Structure 1
Amino acid sequence: MDLKPLLIALVSAALLHAPAHAEPPEAAQQAQAREASSDEGQPDLFGRATHQVQGVMNSGLQYLGIPYRFGGSSAETGFDCSGLVRRIFSDALGLNLPRSAREMASMGKQVGRNELKPGDLVFFNTMRRTFSHVGIYLGDDRFLHSPSAGGRVRVDNLNEAYWQRTFNGARRLIGGEAAANSIR
Structure 2
Amino acid sequence: MESKRHNLPMVVALLSIVLLLGFKDTGKFVKEYKAIKDDGTQIAFNKGDVVDVVKEREDSFLIQYGKEGIKIPKDVLIRTTNSSLKYKVVNNTPLLDKPEGTMIKILNVDDFVTPERIEGEYGLFKTTENISGYVKLAELQPYNSESLTQGISLVNKVIKKDDKCYVLTQGDSVVIKDYVDGKFIIADGNVNEFSVNDNDIELRSAREQVSRSSGSRKSQILSKAVASAYSKLGKPYVYADTGRRGYDCSGLTYSIYSMELGIKIPRSSSEQAQVGTYIDKSELIPGDLLFFNTSGRGISHVGIYIGDGNMIHASSSTAKKVTISTIESGYYGQRYVTARRIVN
Same fold (TM over 0.5): yes
Determine if the alignment matches structure 1 residue 18 to structure 2 residue 187. Answer: no
Change in 2 beyond 3 A, CA 1:22/1:141: farther
Q: Deviations over 1:139-162 (max 9, x none)?
A: 110101001056110111112321
What letter is aligned with 1:48?
R
**Aligned residue number for residue 51 of structure 1:** 220
Which of these residues, 75, 80, 102, is aligned with residue 270 of structure 2?
102
Q: Which runs of 5+ in 1 are unaligned?
A: 1-12, 28-43, 176-184
Rg comparison, structure with higher value? 2
Q: What is the deviation of 1:163?
A: 1.0
SS at match of 1:14: strand
Q: Given the superposition, is the C-alpha separation of residues 126 and 21 from structure 1 closer, same or farther in structure 2, using an over 3 Å criterion?
A: farther
How far, CA to CA, are the matches of 2:281 and 2:309 in structure 1?
Answer: 9
Closer, same or farther in 2 for the Cα pair 1:125/1:48, shift >3 Å?
same
Tell me how far apart the structure 2 counterparts of residues 23 and 81 of structure 1 sit (CA, whole Å): 30
Shift of 1:14: 3.1
- Structure 2 CA distance for aligned equivalents of residues 141 and 161 of structure 1: 12
Specify which of 262, 284, 295 is matched with residue 116 of structure 1: 284
- TM-score, normalised to structure 1, is 0.70
SS at match of 2:270: helix
Which residue of the partner structure matches residue 169 of structure 1? 338
More strand by share: 2
1:66 match: 235
How many angstroms does 1:96 deviate by? 2.5
Higher-helix-fraction structure? 1
Q: Name the TM-score, length of structure 2 as normaliser.
A: 0.39
Deviation digits for residues 64-112 of structure 1 (CA, Å, limit 9, x no counterpart): 00000111111x4110000000001135421232110000000011011
Please point out which of 131, 145, 150 is paired with 2:299: 131
Identity of aligned residues (%): 34
SS of structure 2 residue aligned to 1:159 = coil
Aligned length: 144
* Higher normalized contact order (CA 8 Å, seq sep 6+, divided by chain length): 1
The change in CA–CA distance for 1:23 and 1:59 in structure 2 (over 3 A counts) is farther
Q: Which moved more, 1:80-89 or 1:148-157?
A: 148-157
Matched to 1:57, the amino acid is V
Aligned partner of 1:144 among 297, 312, 315: 312
Describe the shift of the 1:66–1:21 C-alpha distance in structure 2 as closer, same or farther (beyond 3 A).
farther
CA distance, structure 2, for counterparts of residue 142 and residue 91 of structure 1: 23
Q: Secondary structure at the match of 2:159?
A: helix
Residue pair 2:306, 2:312 contacting (<8 A) in 1 also: yes
